[in-house]
């Protein structure tokens, strides 16, 4: 077997053993066995209820950022910034769960948006039970979002520690909401290699951490398959306006540009999903709430839009596989 480096004309001192170039998982498509590699355009087209082209999946993040965030292995976006105690950022996040969220709800009511998924830290549900009560009253789906934004899931974390966090979060949310809690979004979308296995073990049916597709796909775990949902982080108010420093008009334009492309693709390739993430501490501010309304209003005027929760999208998709 010739050395590939030598084939390129690069001198190699003493050469390298053949085993250096062997990789047991190297194959066509993917280098892992978590899911089967496939092209979206070649999959079976999906049809949404009432022949809608786009499933509108609104996600509201209800998060708790501790004042003493450990920063291990990093601080979640939106967390404290200055030295302890960073009351400026801590109280701003708290504002979202106490004030801003109700402005967001008012926009949804005005536009006729009834189907919403709320990604909730269990600490939020415990500290602010009125939010769970209001979510249930409005018919929102509750999705697991970890314990709080200071307790991340990450590589190198012990399996027992991570399993305990998953259990703590889901048991609390299921008890307080009365819902089954079928979906999961890791805090800061941060995972370890074990996270999918642990959440599937705990009864989760779909998760939102991987952003590598526009449609759901089966994901293999030690407890059987779960479904990876297309929860893109680009269409997030905090990503666009806080982290990328873009304007409210940019937020409006990017949401509607994404919708236009997906809507047109769905005309020939089957249904698509428009996932939008809203943080009440961001969009619920008095000077920003208009951007949320102006971004969603044009979409709600289309007849080919199906409002849905993550669980409803999951069920509709699975029936057609």
| Contact of 195 with 210, CB cutoff 8 Å | no
Q: Does the pTM exceed 0.85? A: yes
pLDDT of 79 reads 84
The full set of domain ranges for the chain reads 52-318
Whether the pLDDT of residue 72 is over 90: the answer is no
Per-residue confidence (pLDDT) for residue 198, from 0 to 100: 98
pLDDT of res. 82: 84
pLDDT band at 29; cut points 50, 70, 90: confident
CA angle 110, 111, 113 (to 5 degrees): 110
Confidence of residue 314 (pLDDT cuts 50, 70, 90): very high
Percentage of residues in the chain having pLDDT higher than 70? 95
pLDDT of residue 15: 67
Mean pLDDT of the chain: 93
Mention every residue, 6+ apart, whose C-beta is less than 8 A from residue 269: 40, 41, 45
CATH architecture of 52-318: Alpha-Beta Barrel (3.20)
Q: Residue 284 to residues 121, 160, 218, 305: CA-CA distances in angstroms?
A: 18, 37, 35, 24
pLDDT in tens, 3-20: 454 455 544 555 677 777
- pLDDT tens digits for range 229-276: 999 889 999 999 998 999 999 999 999 999 999 999 999 999 999 999
pLDDT at 240: 96
| Burial 243-261, CB ≥16 within 10 A → b, else e | eeeeebeebbebbbebbee
Give the per-residue pLDDT at 9: 52
- Name the percent of the chain lying above pLDDT 90: 81
What does R_g of the chain's alpha carbons equal in angstroms? 22
21-25, 71-75, 102-106: which is most confident: 102-106
Query: Residue 219: helix, strand or coil by DSSP?
Result: strand
pLDDT tier for residue 125 given thresholds of 50, 70 and 90:
very high
pLDDT at site 6: 47
Residue 181 has pLDDT above 90, yes or no: yes
3-state secondary structure of 321: coil
Q: Would you say residue 98 has pLDDT above 90?
A: yes
Q: Which residues contact 154 (CB under 8 A, 6 or more apart)?
A: 72, 73, 190, 191, 192
Is the separation of the CB atoms in 77 and 135 below 8 Å?
Answer: no
The pLDDT, as a whole number, for residue 83 is 83
The separation between CA 145 and the C-alpha centre of its own chain, rounded to angstroms, equals 9
**Low-confidence winner among 68-82, 86-100, 154-168 (lowest mean pLDDT):** 68-82
Phi, psi dihedrals of residue 276, rounded to the nearest 5°: -125, 130
pLDDT digits (tens, 9 = 90+) for 264-279: 999 999 999 999 999 9
Sign of CA dihedral 203, 137, 276, 317: positive
């Amino acid at each position: 077997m010739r050395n590939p480096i030598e084939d390129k004309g690069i001198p190699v001192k003493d050469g390298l053993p053949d085993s250096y170039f062997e990789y047991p998982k190297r194959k066509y498509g993917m280098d892992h066995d978590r899911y089967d590699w496939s092209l979206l355009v070649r999959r079976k087209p999906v049809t949404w209820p009432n022949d809608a082209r786009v499933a509108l999946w609104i996600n509201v993040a209800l998060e708790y950022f501790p004042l003493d965030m450990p920063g291990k292995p990093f601080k979640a976006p939106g967390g404290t910034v200055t030295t302890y105690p960073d009351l400026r950022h801590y109280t701003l996040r708290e504002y979202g769960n106490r004030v801003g969220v109700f402005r967001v709800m008012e926009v949804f009511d005005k536009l006729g948006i009834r189907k919403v998924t709320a990604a909730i830290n269990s600490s939020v549900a415990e500290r602010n039970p009125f939010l769970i009560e209001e979510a249930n009253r409005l018919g929102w789906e509750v999705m697991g979002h970890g314990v709080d934004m200071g307790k991340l899931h990450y590589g190198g974390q012990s399996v027992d520690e991570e399993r305990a966090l998953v259990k703590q979060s889901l048991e609390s949310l299921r008890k307080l909401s009365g819902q089954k809690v079928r979906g999961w979004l890791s805090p800061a979308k941060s995972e370890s290699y074990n996270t999918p296995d642990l959440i599937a073990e705990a009864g989760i049916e779909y998760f939102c951490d991987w952003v590598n597709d526009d449609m759901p796909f089966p994901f293999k775990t030690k407890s059987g398959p779960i479904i990876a949902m297309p929860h893109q982080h680009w269409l997030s108010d905090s990503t666009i306006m806080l982290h990328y420093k873009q304007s409210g008009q940019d937020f409006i334009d990017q949401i509607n540009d994404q919708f236009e492309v997906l809507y047109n693709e769905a005309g020939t390739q089957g249904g698509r999903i428009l996932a939008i993430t809203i943080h009440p501490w961001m969009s619920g501010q008095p000077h920003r709430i208009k951007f949320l309304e102006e971004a969603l209003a044009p979409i709600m005027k289309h007849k080919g839009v199906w409002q849905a929760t993550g669980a409803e999208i999951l069920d509709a998709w699975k029936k057609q596989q």
